[in-house]
A and B are shown apart, each in its own frame.
Chain A
Amino acid sequence: DGGITQSPKYLFRKEGQNVTLSCEQNLNHDAMYWYRQDPGQGLRLIYYSQIVNDFQKGDIAEGYSVSREKKESFPLTVTSAQKNPTAFYLCASSASANTEAFFGQGTRLTVV
């Protein structure tokens, strides 16, 4: 089955801790993305990667970090510098710019 797998589905973090969200795709897509979704707001872009070993900041990158060491994987780290990390995080991929985007099932992060 081709698709995007995000793990874990639910994640709880204590204040001051860093956590890493996993995103893996087997669609052979070059581009990958991380979005954040909050109630009543549209999806907001955190980071995106056009190709392996390259990534760019999106609209709300502060407090987040990413890596793209393999084509299939684009993990997102939510650092303690992110002041309001509780949200639903969505990973996506596309073959290239301006092509159809495919999404994972999301990770719900809660700070306790």
Chain B
Amino acid sequence: KQEVTQIPAALSVPEGENLVLNCSFTDSAIYNLQWFRQDPGKGLTSLLLIQSSQREQTSGRLNASLDKSSGRSTLYIAASQPGDSATYLCAVSRGSGTYKYIFGTGTRLKVLA
């Protein structure tokens, strides 16, 4: 059974710091992995989608990497800003042609001004 873990559950950093958020999954047979951002009381905003054949994806200050063999993905945020404060979730698909994703519980990030 696929399990997705995000550690730490919460993280506080000073503004300007580069940081890495982690996502681990137990079954390496994934089709793709998606990173989301969630502000308090709001829905999820898609940040990056990495296909299983890709090693990384970049969007602005965000860079997501995927290592299927080790069951890990990282989300790198460069030059963090207070506006980056939110909960970050990762989700892995269960296989080709599937509509089902398994979500981690998220990392709550606070960037201090």
Contacts and interface: CB of A to CB of B under 8 A. Distances in A.
Q: Tell whether A and B belong to one assembly.
A: yes
Interface of A: 4, 6, 31, 33, 40-45, 48, 50, 56, 58, 90, 92, 94, 97-106, 108
Interface in B1-53: 4, 31-32, 34, 36, 41-46, 49
Contact of A103 (B45, B99, B100): B45
Given A100-B34, A100-B49, A42 B43 contact: no
Contact of A102 (B42, B46, B91, B99): B46
Contacts of A99: 49
Contacts of A98: 31-32, 93, 96-98
Given A40-B105, A98-B93, A108 B41 contact: yes
A100 B47 CA distance: 10
Nearest to B90: A42
Contact of A100 (B46, B98, B105, B106): B46
A50 B98 CA distance: 10
Given A42-B89, A42-B105, A98-B32, A103 B44 contact: yes
B4 A106 contact: no
A42 B103 contact: yes
Contacts of A6: 43
Given A42-B104, A42-B105, A97 B43 contact: no
A6 B41 CA distance: 13
Contacts of B102: 42
A4 B46 CA distance: 13
A43 B90 CA distance: 10
B4 A50 contact: no
Nearest to A48: B99
Contacts of B97: 97-98
B4 A42 contact: yes
B101 interface: yes
Contacts of B106: 42
A48 B100 contact: yes
Q: Which of B44, B97, B103 has the most chain A CB atoms inside 10 A of its CB?
A: B44
